[in-house]
Amino acid sequence: MLDNHHKNLATFIHLSTFSRFIIPFGNFIGPIVLWAANKEKSEFIDQHGKQAINFQISVLLYAIIIGTISMPFFIFKLFRGLDVIDFHGFHNFHINIGEPSPLLYIGGGLGVLAVIAFIVELALIVKASLSARDGNVYKYPLTINFLK
């Protein structure tokens, strides 16, 4: 039987992912601790705990992939532009910025994609919390099921 206590626990499992803003890796620690302590109480709590943890691991994996792809674009631009400032005493001072590289646009586009993904992640966590509060099972989109 699903009671308010189980709904509240499932809701707090999802909301505990926001603890990452206070505690390093809190988005993993919070849900894992709450889920491990309460997963035997009901199948509802077990499902929500697994979903929250799977989603956080998936988001970490996607962030590592985006970061790995975008890092070379910034590094190539950095090494190419080391001669940005030409300083020859106080008589001749030039700053040469030049045209932005297409690599910078690609890397910046991936950075914007990461910001959008972060905002979508926050919205999905709130949506999952509200679904748990209402007593519905929620499945995060694009989540890899590490815990089954």
Least confident residue range of 42-56, 62-76, 122-136:
62-76
- φ, ψ of residue 135 in degrees (nearest 5): 90, 15
> Within a domain: residue 145?
no
The single-letter DSSP state of residue 23 is S
pTM, rounded to two decimals:
0.78
> Within a domain: residue 20?
yes
Q: What is the pLDDT of residues 54-95, one digit of tens each?
A: 999 999 999 898 888 877 776 766 666 555 555 555 566 555
The answer to whether the CB of 9 falls within 8 A of the CB of 41 is yes
> Within a domain: residue 73?
yes
Q: Please say if the pLDDT value at position 96 is more than 70.
A: no
> Within a domain: residue 32?
yes
Residue 121 confidence (pLDDT): 93
Q: Domain range for residue 61?
A: 4-133
Residue 78 confidence (pLDDT): 63
The total number of structural domains in the chain stands at 1
Q: What is the pLDDT of residues 25-36, one digit of tens each?
A: 999 999 999 999
> Within a domain: residue 101?
yes
Q: How far apart are CA 126 and CA 12, in angstroms?
A: 11
Residue 14 confidence (pLDDT): 94
Contacts of 19 (CB under 8 A, 6+ apart): 26, 27, 29, 30
Residue 29 confidence (pLDDT): 94
Count CA within 13 A, CB hemisphere, residue 42: 16
Structure tokens at 47: 């499902």
The pLDDT mean for the chain works out to 85
> Within a domain: residue 138?
no
> Within a domain: residue 140?
no
Between 52 and 106, where is the model more confident?
Answer: 52
> Within a domain: residue 148?
no
